[in-house]
């Protein structure tokens, strides 16, 4: 399993980074991004601490761990600045909290995330055709999620992304140890979202390719 959207106690998760990484290792993870919720108030506080934790533990674990950020409930107009600041501070994977069905995310957030060049739009909800085509053009990935509530739009995201050729990934949006999943469970979630079996390996590959791209960018 490669999971590019997780949370720790630095936002609203239950675990410190070391324990999250250890539990991911025990679940068979190959790679993990720590992407705590961030806005203008805490980018500079959280990203350096995530980086410090990863640098300390990375030599001792087989899981590849990347520092990241999930820009959350930001006004669309300032999302580009926050994405740029997160990258400047050392975030390797930048996620923007998309227009999920179950939270009052401002309309235009998906569009702003694409314009900003975020790596992933998490749980993008009923994303429009216009934004789907823009995401394809900008090579921004859309997330299929295992998280309760956010997953309500998985079917729409999967169907429309496949229709228009937009890259997909699958993440957990983990906030606690029970949220971590195996690769087999991820496969089942993709099938449940309407993804054909023949496409599933390519979706897993998208996450690996993003990590490789990120490391080249560094």
CATH code at position 212: 3.20.20.140
pTM above 0.75, yes or no: yes
Tally of domains within the chain? 1
Domain coverage including residue 92: 2-217
- Evaluate if residue 218 carries a pLDDT over 70: no
Report which secondary-structure segment, H or E, holds 141: strand 141-145
Which sign does the torsion angle of CA 181, 9, 116, 83 carry? negative
- Angstrom distances, CA of residue 14 to CA of 20, 21, 161, 185, 190: 9, 13, 32, 22, 26
Over the stretch 150-194, which tens digit does the pLDDT of each residue have? 999 999 999 999 999 999 999 999 999 999 999 999 999 999 999
- Angstrom distances, CA of residue 151 to CA of 16, 124, 127: 25, 10, 13
3-state SS assignment for residue 71: strand
């Amino acid at each position: 399993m490669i999971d590019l959207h997780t949370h720790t106690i630095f936002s609203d998760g239950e675990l410190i980074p070391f324990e999250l990484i250890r539990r991911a290792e025990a679940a068979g993870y190959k790679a993990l991004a720590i992407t705590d919720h961030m806005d203008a108030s805490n980018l500079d506080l959280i990203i350096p601490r995530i980086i410090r934790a990863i640098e300390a533990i990375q030599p001792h674990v087989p899981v590849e761990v990347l520092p990241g950020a999930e820009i959350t409930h930001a006004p669309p107009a300032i999302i580009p600045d926050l994405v740029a600041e997160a990258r400047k501070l050392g975030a390797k994977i930048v996620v923007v909290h998309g227009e999920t069905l179950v939270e009052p995310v401002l309309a235009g957030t998906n569009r702003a995330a694409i314009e900003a060049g975020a790596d992933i739009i998490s749980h993008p909800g009923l994303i429009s055709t216009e934004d789907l085509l823009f995401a394809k053009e900008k090579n921004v990935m859309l997330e299929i999620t295992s998280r309760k509530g956010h997953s309500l739009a998985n079917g729409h995201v999967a169907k429309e992304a496949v229709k228009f050729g937009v890259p997909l990934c699958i993440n957990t949006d983990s906030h606690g140890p029970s949220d971590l999943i195996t690769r087999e469970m991820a496969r089942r979630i993709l099938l449940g979202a309407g993804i054909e079996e023949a496409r599933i390996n390519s979706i897993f590959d998208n996450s690996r390719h993003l990590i490789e791209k990120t490391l080249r960018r560094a």
